[in-house]
Amino acid sequence: MPELQLLRPDHAPALLAFEQENRAYFAATIPDRGDDYFARFDELLRELLVEQEAGICYFHVLVDPVGAVLGRVNLVDVADGAADLGYRIAERAAGRGLATWGVREVCQRAVDSYGLTALRAAATLANTASRAVLARTGFTVTGETRLSGRPGLTYVRQLQP
């Protein structure tokens, strides 16, 4: 089983490789990050780490025993005891329960380490795997939305200490 780690500067090479290798796979179900993301990767990573240090966001990577990134599970826009959850799993690691495991782990950290009481999420209707992960991990549908023009659903999960 991979290890869930809080994002650090030394994750940069493995994280960039993960994003590049899975770009087309992710773009099939979630909005693409765009070329600018890859061109400015180091700068954007530094900005994310500043936000994490300030407690605005918490970025996690699922790392295998040799240090390769297999997934990301992030909490962003932390405020008033709540945050938005986002996650992505490498194509080569999909279908093995990693997203469910990673989301459960981050939900526990959200309570134990970050003092959060609720998490929000959204998934496109086309992303059935992501919607299944949210259902398995205790999220409930709260409404409809559009994600980069694609129809989707919004979710919430109340967290218990």
For the chain, domains (ranges, CATH) are 3-158 (3.40.630.30)
Its pTM stands at 0.93
Per residue in 81-94, pLDDT (tens digit) is 999 999 999 999 99
- Percentage of the chain exceeding pLDDT 70: 100
> SS3 of 69, please?
strand
**Cα–Cα distance measured from residue 25 to residue 99, given in angstroms and rounded to the nearest whole number:** 15
Where does the chain show beta strands of DSSP type E?
A: 3-6, 58-63, 69-79, 82-89, 118-124, 140-147, 150-158
Query: Mind listing the pLDDT tens digit for each residue in 74-121?
Result: 999 999 999 999 999 999 999 999 999 999 999 999 999 999 999 999
Helix (H, G, I), strand (E, B) or coil at 51: helix
